[in-house]
Amino acid sequence: MRVESRSAVWEHTVRWSAALVAACALAAPAAAQPPDPAYREYVSLGDSFTADVLTTVPPTTEFAPFNCDQSVTNYPRLVAAALAVPTFRDASCGGAKTADMTAPQTVPLGSNPPQLDRLTPTTDLVTLSIGGNDLGLQELIPQCLSPAGLLPGLPDPGSCAARVTANGADPVEARTAAAEAGVTATIDEIRRRAPNARILLVDYLDALPDTGCVPELPATPADAAYLRSKLIRLNTMLARVADRTGVRLVDTFAAGTGHDVCQAPDVRYVEGLLPFSDRNPQLVAFPFHPNAAGAAAQARAVLDAIGHRA
């Protein structure tokens, strides 16, 4: 029997070990790679119901001027984080109307460029929430708040509907047709600029109950019901536009039912006249705008609409 030298044995051992390592490397499964994001370029468009959540934290100016009041925890940012999109732009701005989608919006100390200018041919996800300012809801709400609603026994100033109606014409009703045309035109232009984008039309949270409450909504039952009817009118219009244009409606109104301004602080999604909520222990929302819980509910509704599961 031939006895191999020590050096030969060592050489065979090294070769065998190298072969074993190579075989194991081939047999071992590749390290798991994170999945590609479902969307790569997300653009958010909208008004203050999109942009705003908090007032005690300075607005971010990453995507828009300071006085657009974009919150670092608004629903578009929550959606972008959940989807891990590589590119995200938030064009939303407080006070925006449909006209501001294609024209600059003047805000104190600055100007927000046309919101649709943030779109590119590679944008593949767009959320749009607009129309409330076209109907004038933010101006209407304070007109319908009254001392009679705040303190029973005080003189009733009369119906809010009667006070805001001029010559028998309800201004909100008169503005609805123009707003509907504006939202429709916006969607058409989004499709032109971002032909491959999935478009989600996001409606407005169920913020206003049909009866008042103190101090969040100091309005008579009749005036509170009138305000709610206009919110429903706005969302009905948006649903009609979504159906006609073939985009997906994100029904945040349904998600917000039971979480209106008159609910307990730890329940409501939208703050009332005095915007203090346990949902925002140090982060207070604008009056009659979503709080942190409301923004989270909006984000969940958007993510559910596109089938995203955490």
Q: Which residues are catalytic?
A: 48, 289
Which alpha helices (H) appear in 246-291, and where do they start and end? 252-256
- C-alpha–C-alpha distance, residues 125 and 310, integer Å: 18
DSSP string, 15-84: HHHHHHHHHHHHHSPPPPPPPPPS-SEEEEEE-HHHH---SSSPPP-SSS-GGG---TTSHHHHHHHHHT
DSSP 8-state class, residue 184 = H
- C-alpha–C-alpha distance, residues 50 and 84, integer Å: 19
Helices 292-305/75-83 angle, 10° precision:
50
Residue 176: count of CB within 10 angstroms of its CB:
19
User: Which candidate, 171, 174, 179, 170, places its Cα nearest to that of 133?
Assistant: 179
- C-alpha–C-alpha distance, residues 288 and 140, integer Å: 12
- C-alpha–C-alpha distance, residues 91 and 171, integer Å: 28
Amino acid occupying residue 288: F
Q: What are phi and psi of 42, to 5 degrees?
A: -110, 130
Does the CA dihedral 299-300-306-308 come out positive or negative? positive
Strands 248-250 and 105-107 come out as unpaired
- C-alpha–C-alpha distance, residues 290 and 303, integer Å: 18
User: Which candidate, 243, 209, 245, places its Cα nearest to that of 226?
Assistant: 209
